[in-house]
Amino acid sequence: MKNFLKSRTPNYPLSLQATVIGLFSALTIALTIIIQIPVPATGGYINIGDAAVMLSGLLFGPIVGGVAGGLGSALADIITGYAFYSPWTLIIKGVEGFLAGLISRRDRFSYLDLIACFIIAGPWMITGYFMVESLLFSVAAAIVELPLNVLQFTIGGLIATPVSIAARKVSQQLNTVKDR
């Protein structure tokens, strides 16, 4: 497991990883706050923060994706008055970012990685919030929010996909120039 995890985590110095975590936490907060659509049934909201959660994992691996996704999303909950969701969000979004990073391969890029991200990380987030909302409110309230969570993840994925493809292409071009 350690080698598997290491193969999916860039070999950056700790200071650079901390910087990237800070930047992607801030991006996650910004994208979560910029568009919030309240859901009265659960007292929650839908947003586009999933784009940054997935992007951090897809580009920088499971550690950055997990920490930045969980921390940024939980802080956004606290900042916007949804603090009661923040412990759950920390776990759900943290695992979502971790899974996106675990799925993404460092050595090569594959569209299958993106599809796997949708198949694994998306249902994790959707199921996680369904369970929390069933526990905190009711199954009926969780059912009301279920399609909205699907929509939220889908929109986040539609944003993260082209951005991650473009970022990887730019990174490859920069590495080619550097190697000359």
pLDDT single digits (tens) 126-170? 999 999 999 999 999 999 999 999 999 999 999 998 998 898 888
* pLDDT exceeds 60 at position 121: yes
Strand residue runs (E) in the chain:
37-39, 44-46
Contacts for 75 with CB less than 8 Å, ≥ 6 apart: 25, 29, 86
For the chain, the domains span 2-103+111-179
Distance CA 32, CA 29 (A): 5
Residue showing tokens 């996680």: 128
Predicted TM-score of the model (pTM): 0.89
Residue percentage of the chain with pLDDT more than 70: 88
The domain made up of 2-103+111-179 has a fold known as Arp2/3 complex 21 kDa subunit ARPC3 (1.10.1760)
- Rank 7-11, 31-35, 167-171 by mean pLDDT and report only the highest: 31-35
